[in-house]
Structure formats: C-alpha cells, structure tokens
Structure 1
Amino acid sequence: MTTSTSVRQQVLVLYLATSALDSPVLGWARYDGTGTTRPTTGDTDEPPYGTGVAALQDGWRLIQAAQLIPPYPGAEHETSFLKHEFFFERLVPA
C-alpha cells in the first residue's frame, strides 16, 4: 500500500509600484491553506519580499499578473485601488 502526500496551497498577493515584477512592493496579503498561519498576520510591517522577482526566486509561482488599464483622461492623479496586483502560489505539504 502506498501513501500519498497531501499538499495545500499558499497564496501571496503583492501590490507593486509598477507593472514590472522588479518594482518595489507597496502592499501585500497572504493566505495559508495549511491553516498554520492566519491571513496577513506577522510581527513586522515589512513586506515578505521587496519585489515580485524576489518571491519568484524563493519558489513562489506567478499565477496572475496585473491587467494594464490606462487611467481615464483627467484621472491620472486621483487616488484609487492599487492596480499592479500579482498573485503567487506555492504548494506545501499539509
């Protein structure tokens, strides 16, 4: 009889300064399907990675990049949502 290793998904959402993966992280959220950590909790206000490239180098897989939508004329300097959103995932043993 063989046993299979169960895996769970961890999701990391990084909001970057621009659409480039090597731009600085402005905001982030983490979700852990293993249940070992709670979303977005931590001991620091520092992002888990300085750039999206750093997350890739640490083994996270990019699953969705930000859709590039130009601002409406006249709205270039208005405050809005963080538009450069990137979703990463990694699978870890349960």
Structure 2
Amino acid sequence: MSKTFTLKEVGEHKDGDSLWLAVDNGVYDISNFLDEHPGGAKILKRMAGKDASKQFWKYHGKTVLDKYGDKLKIGTLAESAKL
C-alpha cells in the first residue's frame, strides 16, 4: 500500500539530499533524478517541497509521467493537502 503524505510533509524535503515534490495527487522523490532531468537540476531544486502540478503540466505531457513516475513515486497526497 502506498504511503500518504501531507503537503507540509512534502515541504520538509526541499533541500539537501532529500528532495520531494507533488504532481497532482502523487508524491515523488526526485533526489536521485537531478542529473537525469533534461531541463537541469535547477528547476527541480526550485520546485522541491511544493506542489509542482501546474509547472509540470506546462512543460510535460502524460508520457513523461508514465515513463518516470513509477520509479520516483513514493506515495500520494492526503485529500486535505489539496485544498
């Protein structure tokens, strides 16, 4: 079963060796993805600890999430976190 996180918990992972972000209802650990990201690490570091849904969908299609999502997803956002 997938773990559920609040947006506050996601926000606690915004620097150092622990970088998480949320896209829609998914929570992703991007700590080890920085070097693989075609757009560079800077934007991922800037979005770490936040709900990056709007920015993600502005630049990516569903195929990107299909390709990388499973290996990076660590859980889901709690319903109350989406308010």
Same fold flag (TM > 0.5): no
TM-score when scaled to structure 2? 0.25
Instruction: Select the structure with the greater relative contact order (CA < 8 A; seq sep ≥ 6).
Output: 2
Larger helix proportion, structure 1 or 2? 2
Larger C-alpha radius of gyration, 1 or 2? 1
TM-score (ref. length: structure 1): 0.23
